[in-house]
Amino acid sequence: MATITIMDPVTRIEGHLKVEVTIDQNRVTDAKCTGTLFRGFEKILAGRHPWDAPILTQRICGVCPISHGLAASMALDNASGRSVPDNGRILRNLTLGSNYVQSHILHFYLLSLLDYVAGPQTSPWTPAYNVDMRFPASNPTYPIMDHFVQAVAARRRAHEMGALLSGRMPITAAIISGGHTVVPNAAMITKFRTQLNLLLDFIRNIYIPDSIALSQIYSDYFNIGGGWKNLLAYGVFDLNASGTDKLFHRGCVENATKGNPNNVFLNQITESVTHSWYADATNNLTPRSGDTQPVYPKTNGYSWLKAPRHQGKPFETGALARMWVTGDYQNGVSVMDRHLARAQETLKVAEAMLTWLDQLTMGAPSYEQNNLLSDGEGIGLTEAPRGALGHWVKIAGGTIAHYQVITPTCWNASPQDDKNVRGPIEQALVGTPVMDPTQPIEVLRVIHSFDPCLSCAVHVMRPKEEPMVLEVPAVTC
């Protein structure tokens, strides 16, 4: 007899996700992903000064704020026709690269590994499911728990590198429309290079071997969690001023097709709200004309996430999609392929950062001054660590008239669309074997392989209590 298991909240992700799976004869037969909070940043931005967008949208999430600051800045660059000097482009890449490295290390060691290794029976490793833990925790020749602790230090190092170039992390005021506010100097670059080399040691000698060891011990997970196998990337890390050359390319593939990817058609990206708590009048709009009109409760609605589609189809985004579209990794689409592609991407980005450091020009500007924008429209497309990220802005009379954000997790954790087609994580869960429905560790492994961040996808909540008024006392100096 089929049983329904509800995981609410799913832990060791960012933000609030509820997943409901139907399990029949020890196999998942249906799945529903629910984003349980309303984000509302599109509403917050309306009427604000355009230059507020890179600052405010970074508050969407503390894990990938750099990507939001960059996407907002790129949208404003695009709207104003502003160009970014080479130093600005490279500093943006280095800041984002630092954020990628910290995010991927965080994901593998702190958010995912404990699905495979029984950690010490103490907080923060407990409570936890305790089935099918094949990765030995205390093997003297392979001290995975030592690596876990080293990963915390490595992640801090990556944050410190970002802070060297862009001020306090994780959220920075340094990435703005027109470039980057920092003028590089030799001391800064030397310190950054020293930290990066230490980080590269960790990635090459610890993270990559750990990801390979995991994939060998759990090789069955190359056949679990594939889903639709449609992959999409906007591309990221501009290598020239026009952005036509990128470290990771733009493109998409269907059913894990190898070879040259297809084009991404921006006017064929739409968001279905049939199963989302938004007004049906806004169904299947492109983000250029999309709207954020909450309707709760709603018949057939089960998530605060909309359902983004390209040419009407669901697409997975993330490190595997980037690596696949660029031709760096085309082994397959599965739980273990996501982990391996993410680890290999971390190395590729860190190695590229070393070369970018050499391309900075001391004393050259990082920012192009330009007139204040009063009317215009722009799109900022980049890649956050978790995948394709887009910001769409319209400006009228000097303020933001319209703003829409589609995050990677909105693509990945989307609910069903108007044709009742499941989102990527939902589909990846179908067919997953579950040994013990009371401890569905296999379900958790599939979900975690996408590295979901529901903070990015949904954010603002209204507590039941009365509004709280905070008075900030005057400061006398």
Is residue 95 near ligand NFE by the rule CB under 6 A?
no
With CB under 6 A as the contact rule, which of the stretches 38-46, 127-135, 293-301, 382-390 interacts with ligand NFE? 382-390
Q: Under the criterion CB under 6 A, does residue 64 sit at the interface with ligand NFE?
A: yes
User: Measured from the CB atom, is 111 or 421 closer to ligand NFE?
Assistant: 111
Q: Minimum distance from CB of 117 to ligand NFE (Å)?
A: 24
- CB under 6 A: which stretch of 31-39, 63-71, 183-191, 275-283 binds ligand NFE? 63-71
Of 149-157, 305-313, 340-348, 403-411, the window that binds ligand NFE (rule: CB under 6 A) is: 403-411
CB of 425 to ligand NFE, least distance (A): 12
Q: What is the spatial distance between Cα 79 and Cα 50, in angstroms, rounded to a whole number?
A: 10
CA distances from 175 to 72, 99, 189, 352 (A): 9, 13, 18, 20
Rounded to whole angstroms, the Cα distance separating 37 from 455 reads 8
Closest CA to 135 of 203, 74, 217: 217
Beta-strand relationship, 231-233 and 251-253: antiparallel
Q: Which two tokens stand for residue 431?
A: 């067919």
Cβ neighbours of residue 464 closer than 8 Å, sequence gap 6 or more: none
- Binding to ligand NFE by residue 67, rule CB under 6 A? yes
The answer to the question of residue 233 lying near ligand NFE (CB under 6 A) is: no
Q: Are 273 and 279 in contact (CB under 8 A)?
A: yes
Which token pair is 370? Answer: 């330009």
Q: How far from 334 is each of 113, 244, 427, 446, 470, CA to CA, in Å?
A: 16, 30, 12, 8, 47
Taking the C-alpha atoms of residue 461 and residue 224, their distance in angstroms, rounded to an integer, is: 34
Size of the site for ligand NFE (CB under 6 A): 16
Q: Does 74 bind ligand NFE (CB under 6 A)?
A: no
Residues facing residue 294 across a β-bridge: 278
Token pair for residue 197? 């080399």
The verdict on 56 binding ligand NFE (CB under 6 A) reads no
Comparing CB distances to ligand NFE, the nearer of 317 and 366 is 317
**Sole binder of ligand NFE in the list 61, 74, 90, 114 (CB under 6 A):** 61
DSSP label at 254?
A: S
Classify 314 as helix, strand or coil: coil
The reply on whether position 63 binds ligand NFE by CB under 6 A is yes
Q: How do strand 231-233 and strand 179-180 relate by DSSP bridges?
A: unpaired
Select from 30-38, 60-68, 181-189, 289-297 the region that touches ligand NFE (CB under 6 A): 60-68
Residue span binding ligand NFE (CB under 6 A) among the ranges 59-67, 170-178, 273-281, 426-434:
59-67
Q: If we measure between CA atoms, which residue out of 35, 24, 108, 33 comes closest to residue 445?
A: 108
Q: Is 28 in the site for ligand NFE (CB under 6 A)?
A: no
Sole window of 168-176, 289-297, 384-392, 434-442 interacting with ligand NFE (rule: CB under 6 A): 384-392
Q: Select from 385, 390, 415, 424 the one that contacts ligand NFE (CB under 6 A).
A: 385
Structure tokens at 364: 């050259």
Q: Interface with ligand NFE includes 99 (CB under 6 A)?
A: no
- Does 386 bind ligand NFE (CB under 6 A)? Our answer is yes
- Cβ of residue 231: shortest distance to ligand NFE, in angstroms? 16
Angstrom CA distances, 279 to 272, 273, 333, 340, stand at 10, 7, 34, 40
Distance CA 79, CA 242 (A): 15
404 vs 455 by CB, closer to ligand NFE: 455
Site mask, ligand NFE, residues 338-377, x = CB under 6 A? ----------------------------------------
Structure tokens at 52: 């507020």
List, in order, residues 6 or more apart from 123 with CB less than 8 Å away: none
Token pair recorded at residue 409: 């997790």
Grouping H, G, I as helix, E, B as strand and the rest as coil, residue 176 is: strand
Among 389, 393, 425, 428, binds ligand NFE (CB under 6 A): 389
Residues 456-475 within binding reach of ligand NFE (CB under 6 A): 456-457
Residue placing its CB nearer to ligand NFE in the complex, 218 or 448: 448
Which residue from 19, 341, 453, 458 is in contact with ligand NFE, where contact means CB under 6 A? 453
Residue listed under structure tokens 């939902």: 426
Q: Which of residues 288-327 bind ligand NFE (CB under 6 A)?
A: none
Query: 192: which 2 tokens?
Result: 């950054």
443 is a contact residue toward ligand NFE (CB under 6 A) = no
Q: Supply the minimum distance, in Å, between the C-beta of residue 322 and ligand NFE.
A: 12
Residues that bind ligand NFE (CB under 6 A): 14, 61, 63-64, 67, 384-386, 389, 407-409, 453, 455-457
